[in-house]
Copies of this chain bind each other. A is one copy, B any other.
Amino acid sequence: MVIALDAMGGDFAPLVPIKAAIKAKQSGVDVILVGNEKSITKHLLKEGVSTTMFKVVNADEVISMQEVIGAKTLKKNSSLRVCYELKKKGAASAVVSAGHSGAMLALGKMILKTINLIDRPCIGALMPSKKGHVLLADAGANIDCSADNLFQFGILAKIYLECVHNVNDPKLGLLNIGKEKSKGPAAIRDAYSLFEKSDINFLGNIEGKEFFLGDHDIVICDGFAGNILLKSTQGAEAFISYLVKEQIGKSWLNKLGALLLSGMFKGIKDHTNYAKYGGAPLLGLNGVAMVCHGNSNVEAIFSAIKIADWSIKNDFIKRIIEGLDFHYK
C-alpha cells in the first residue's frame, strides 16, 4: 500500500509536498514522489533525508494552476497524470495532489473512470461548523446536476463519512432557498423525493444561513452553488478578519485587547482554516483521490495523505460499490 503524491502540485511545490511526504513516512504511510526527479532529490537532500527513503517516479511536465483545462493541458508526462497512471496499473493505491483541481478531476475521470452506476464524480469539502464538521458535496465539480446526480452525491458523501470519518448515520440536508419541499428548481425538488424515499438520514432542505449550525453532517448541492457557498463564506471570513485587523490598528487600547486575545484569534483562525481539513475527496471515481487547496501547508497535505491511506485501509471503494448496490437494488 502506497500513496502516489504529486510532488509538483500546489503553490509551494515541491518543498511542501516533500515535507508532507516525510511526515507521512514517519507516521508509517508509504509515499511515491512523482515529479521532476532532480528537483525532488535536491529537496530531499536539503531536508537531510536519504534519497532511498522514497521511491521517486520522474515526470517532467507540470499542469500549472493557471492553465485552462483541455486535451492539450492534460499532458501525458505531467506529474498529476503519472500519479493516476501509477494508480491505474496498481503501482499505487491512491492519488494525492495540491495541483489544479479541474485537471485532477478531468484526469481522474479519464484514467480511473467513475464507479459503475455513478454518472459524475463530485468534490466533497469538509468545512467547520458549530458542532464539528459538515461535508459539502458537490463543492465545485459539476455546474448543473440532475436529481439523480444529487442523490448519488448523497450516497457517496454518506459512505465517505461513515467509512473514513467514522460518522454514524450522517444527517443529510439539501441546500435550497427555503425549507418547504416545493421550493427551488426542479432538480432539487426531485432529489428531495429521492432522498425522502431512501434510507438516508435526510433532514430536508437546508438554507445557507443554517450551514454552519452543525445540525447536518452533509449538505448536498450542485457544484455551482457549492462553489459559491465555499468561496463566498471564505471571502466573508477574510473580510471580517480584515475589519478586525483594521480596527486593532486604530488605538493602543485595541492593540492591548488584541494582544490579550491573540490566542483566541489564532484558535478561531485555525478552526475556520480549510488547510486543517487537509484535502477534498473526489467522490465517485473508481479509486481514492484527494485534491488539496493549492495554498496547502505541510499539515494539510499530510492530513490528505493520511485520509487517503485510511480510505484504502477501510475499503472505501468497495464500500461505495456495496452501498450503490443497496440503494439501487
Contacts and interface: CB of A to CB of B under 8 A. Distances in A.
Contacts of A146: none
Contacts of A234: 208-209
A51 B67 CA distance: 68
Interface in A69-97: none
Nearest to A237: B236
A201 interface: no
Interface in A188-246: 207-213, 221, 223-225, 227-240, 242-244
A213 B272 CA distance: 19
A47 interface: no
Contacts of A263: 254
Contact of A253 (B210, B227, B230, B260): B260
A137 B253 CA distance: 40
Interface in A264-281: 264, 267-268, 271-272
Task: Count this chain's copies in the assembly.
Answer: 2
Given A224-B177, A234-B208, A240-B268, A143 B184 contact: yes
B242 A177 contact: no
B237 A208 contact: no
Contacts of A68: 180, 182
Contacts of A267: 247
B140 A177 contact: yes
A258 interface: yes
A232 B216 CA distance: 14
Interface residues of A, number: 57
B235 A232 contact: no
Nearest to A260: B257
A227 B207 CA distance: 9
Contacts of A143: 177, 184-185
A227 B208 contact: yes
A270 to B, nearest CB: 11
A212 B184 contact: no
A131 B207 CA distance: 28
Given A223-B177, A224-B225, A264-B257, A231 B207 contact: yes
24 contacts: A129-B239, A140-B177, A143-B184, A177-B223, A184-B224, A208-B231, A208-B234, A209-B235, A210-B235, A212-B236, A212-B238, A213-B235, A221-B228, A228-B228, A229-B229, A233-B235, A236-B236, A239-B272, A240-B240, A244-B264, A254-B260, A254-B261, A256-B257, A257-B257
Interface of A: 68, 128-130, 140, 143-144, 175, 177, 180, 182, 184-185, 207-213, 221, 223-225, 227-240, 242-244, 247-248, 253-254, 256-261, 263-264, 267-268, 271-272
